[in-house]
Amino acid sequence: MSLPPLTSRAHQRYDYSDFDRERLLMHMRSTEGPALCTGDVTGNGLADVYIGGARGQAGALWLQQTGGGFERGHREAFEQEVRPEETACALFDATGDGLADLYVVSGGNSFGSGSSALSDRMYVNDGAGGFTHTGQVLPTRRGFEPGSVAAPHDFTGDGIPDLFVGIRLRPFGVGLPASGYLLEGNGDGTFTDVTEGWAPQLLEAGMITDGLWADLTGDGSEELVITGEWMPVRVFASRGDRFEEITGELGLENTHGWWNAITAADLNGDGRMDLIGANHGENSLFKASPEHPVKMWAGDFARNGMVEQILSYPKDGRDYPVGLRHDMAEEIPELADRYPDYESYAGQTVQEIFTGQELEQAEELRASELQSTIFLNEEDGFRAEALPVRAQL
């Protein structure tokens, strides 16, 4: 199929560096778009495409034509919201009229928790080629948070699509646990947060990067699968009016990694849904195992009201800081006096640089698996197999 109009679409990256504010980060989280999702917006039986914008750039809806190719669709509602980084989206029928409506997730790490730019947006399809923003602030529990995923599914069983929305991180607080939310659809394009009643385990679940619904147990009901950075692959099963975590029952409790994405498919044709996890990969200086995990402590080490991240790598059973002396001293000034030169800093472990009390007051995270992996669904749980070398680059 020819896609000539789409080739002219350029993702215009906003000039912002996370490292100007948080020097000890391993990588940026403010540029994790663009969002992309498909659904039938016009009712012609063909899949249309929404491509999210970067910060300062409007997203774009592309309508598939019966003769082939795509044409740019409705613009007005989308161009009124050009501030956030659009990190995820979902096209699904939230109003029951047979046409796909649009949910857009706002993310990135360039806005604080007081910025409405981080509010997700629900656009209702009017059936005449236009979309209307409902104006509802979503999710609603903790002000404004940068999200990473929106996965529709009717988990209440009332015939109206509901949503799982995953939060990527706390604004300017990388390493602190973020939440996942269950939003019950009201049938008119608005939602009600029911997380606390249905799945309180999702609150402060971690730095969520992806989530999906799939029937992993073969009982005819789809489970919620989530994962993220410094997180294991976690699975929650429906128990009527609540969700119960079954991660341990499925043998996935020791899968902590730097997961970027996860998907489900029956890979070996046995009728059971398997999982494919996209991790950090092996083309890296970082190596991890259950016995020797990579670690990070996130806390206010500088006692200035900000969150600093102390990343470490394992060597000979000890945890050595990844941060160089000048970066560490820039973020935590007292270290410049304690370690006046590079020689005095060299060879110091995290436990020697910081007191036990300082480390205990911080959030400690571990990653024991960095390989991208398939998880084969067997009778007694999941069996992990690393993907080939080409998939680890």
For residue range 90-118, what is the model confidence (pLDDT) as tens digits?
Answer: 999 999 999 999 999 998 776 667 777 78
Domain boundaries defined on the chain: 5-205, 294-367
342 φ, ψ to 5°? -70, -30
Residuewise pLDDT in 10s, the chain (393 residues)? 444 455 455 555 555 555 556 766 776 666 676 899 999 999 999 999 999 988 878 889 999 999 889 999 888 888 887 677 899 999 999 999 999 999 999 987 766 677 777 889 999 999 887 899 998 888 766 678 999 999 999 999 999 999 999 999 998 899 999 999 999 999 999 999 999 999 999 999 999 999 999 999 999 999 999 999 999 999 999 999 999 999 999 999 999 999 999 999 999 999 999 999 999 999 999 999 999 999 999 999 999 999 999 999 999 999 999 999 999 999 999 999 999 999 999 999 999 999 999 999 999 999 999 999 999 999 999 999 999 999 998
Q: Is-contact 237 221, C-beta < 8 A? A: yes
Q: Which pLDDT score, from 0 to 100, does residue 138 have?
A: 85
Work out the angle at residue 272's Cα, subtended by the Cα atoms of residues 269 and 275, and round it to the nearest 5 degrees: 95
Q: What is the DSSP string of 148-197?
A: EEEEEE-TT-SSS-EEEEEE--BTTBTTS---EEEEEE-SSS-EEE-HHH
Grouping H, G, I as helix, E, B as strand and the rest as coil, residue 39 is strand
Q: Which pLDDT score, from 0 to 100, does residue 110 have?
A: 61
> What residue spans of 193-333 are helical by DSSP H?
195-198, 325-331
Q: Which pLDDT score, from 0 to 100, does residue 328 have?
A: 95
Query: What separation in angstroms does the CA of 120 have from each of 2, 62, 334?
Result: 32, 21, 40
For residue range 287-314, what is the model confidence (pLDDT) as tens digits?
Answer: 999 999 999 999 999 999 999 999 999 9
**What's the CA gap between 177 and 186, in Å, rounded?**
29
Grouping H, G, I as helix, E, B as strand and the rest as coil, residue 343 is helix
Contacts of 34 (CB under 8 A, 6+ apart): 11, 51, 52, 53, 54, 59, 86
